[in-house]
Structure 1
Amino acid sequence: MTTNDVLALDATAQDLLFREARTANTFTDEPVTDEQVQALYDLVKYAPTAMNQQPLRVVLVRSAEARERLVSHMSDGNKAKTASAPLTAILAADYEFHHEMPTLFPHFPQAKDTVFAARSSREESARFNATIQLGYFILGVRAAGLAAGPMLGYDAEGINKEFFADGEHGVVSVVNIGKPGENAWYPRSPRLSFDEVFTTV
């Protein structure tokens, strides 16, 4: 029995989202439209988060001025590709997400003032759940026929001061988005086998 016999997702979609998808390091100059971003978000917004808190917030870096500010906080190995990508998104966790809880979790609206009353508990939960949403965001980029280049090589404190000066958000990743350009891929690295990852008890 093959993977295609077991999964509900057809082989073309499996390739698009997983097997053939890669982290892009170069991009063409073809623009990424607001309509594409809206469409991918309308798909990935259904990703699960604890108590439906949805703490992910996204800043789309489009202007030359904002791009320059962002690039100044990227590590040397990430500067050039961030400067040349058609669109870059800063994905952040909203540490004040609890204000939305009465709307997002209406059967327990008091979670805003009980479960998430302490800033420390909100930060931990927001970062964890925004990271879950980051993974789905990358899949959404791929589902839109685009390539994603998620990065952690940056000065987080600098980006937070530059783009989230209110102190209510914390960057979790910077993601370049676009059509893959020339020599976009590094060789695919090995993956662990099923037996190396799974045990049954």
Structure 2
Amino acid sequence: MTKQFHGHELPHEALEQLFLEARSYNGWLDKDVSEEQIRHIYDLLKMGPTSANQQSARFVWCKSQDAKDRLAKHASEGNVEKIKTAPVCVIIGYDIDFHEHLPELFPHTDAKSWFEGDVEGRITQAKRNSALQGAYLMLAARALGLDCGPMSGVDLDKVTEDFFADQPQYRADWICSIGYGDKESIFDRSPRPDFEKFNRID
């Protein structure tokens, strides 16, 4: 029998760590992020929901200096040092052939057939669900006491060519540095809109 878990509201301290006081960091303390921590992040983020359990995100964890230097070559000038000096920088990509894994990941129906012959539809699905998984990655990292520095200022075509050359069905989408953030590197928080500005309840 599946164990039923009924959620409860997290303490305010947890909300501060995940959202209210969390920031996007531009610099990092000289403190390692271990492979064990990386695996723990993944083991948390993979539990977040995706459509038909697609799990369409593909991650490259650039931890060695060589990998970070390679990635930094494809970044805009302002992002080079953010990548090179981070303990780890993750490439968040997506697999346009994610449907090939659905017999294993969504076994109770023939979900693979839903996506066969529709490449554009699969790209839309893969982008949407891998973006969700990237957000789960950031929350997982923050939940484990780490900080994040998400970035889109890279040449994604070159990142794809460099890091996914042997997997032509994969595409890079954005990157995120992870580590212990240097508080001196953050800017003043930008304004956040009130509910009424971008929301309505029908």
Identify whether the pair has TM-score above 0.5, normalized to the shorter chain: yes
The residue aligned with 2:131 is 131
The alignment covers a number of residue pairs equal to: 194
The residue aligned with 1:85 is 86
- How does 1:1-201 map onto structure 2 within 5 Å? 8-109=9-110, 111-165=111-165, 166-201=167-202
Q: Contact (CA 8 Å) 2:99, 2:115: kept in 1 or not?
A: no
Deviations 1:23-69 (A, max 9, x none): 01100110101111111222221111111101011101122222221
The residue aligned with 1:4 is none
Unmatched tracts of structure 1, length 5 or more: 1-6
Shift of 1:132: 0.9
Q: Contact (CA 8 Å) 2:89, 2:175: kept in 1 or not?
A: yes
Secondary structure of 1:159's match?
Answer: helix
Shift of 1:182: 4.8
Unmatched tracts of structure 2, length 5 or more: 1-7
Deviations 1:144-169 (A, max 9, x none): 10100010001011101001113211
1:50 aligned partner, one-letter code? S
Shift of 1:114: 3.4
Q: Identity over aligned residues, as a percent?
A: 36
Secondary structure of 2:160's match?
Answer: helix
Shift of 1:123: 1.2
Shift of 1:81: 1.1
For residues 87 and 45 of structure 1, the distance between their equivalents in structure 2, rounded to whole angstroms, comes to: 19
Deviations 1:78-108 (A, max 9, x none): 0011111111111111112111101111111
Could you tell me the TM-score, scaled by structure 1's length? Answer: 0.92
For residues 36 and 90 of structure 2, the distance between their equivalents in structure 1, rounded to whole angstroms, comes to: 15
Mean CA deviation greater in 112-121 or 132-141? 112-121
For residues 172 and 31 of structure 2, the distance between their equivalents in structure 1, rounded to whole angstroms, comes to: 26
1:119 aligned partner, one-letter code? V
Q: Contact (CA 8 Å) 2:148, 2:179: kept in 1 or not?
A: yes
Mean CA deviation greater in 23-32 or 191-200? 191-200
For residues 189 and 139 of structure 1, the distance between their equivalents in structure 2, rounded to whole angstroms, comes to: 20
For residues 36 and 63 of structure 2, the distance between their equivalents in structure 1, rounded to whole angstroms, comes to: 14
Could you tell me the TM-score, scaled by structure 2's length? Answer: 0.91
Mean CA deviation greater in 165-174 or 87-96? 165-174
Shift of 1:122: 1.2
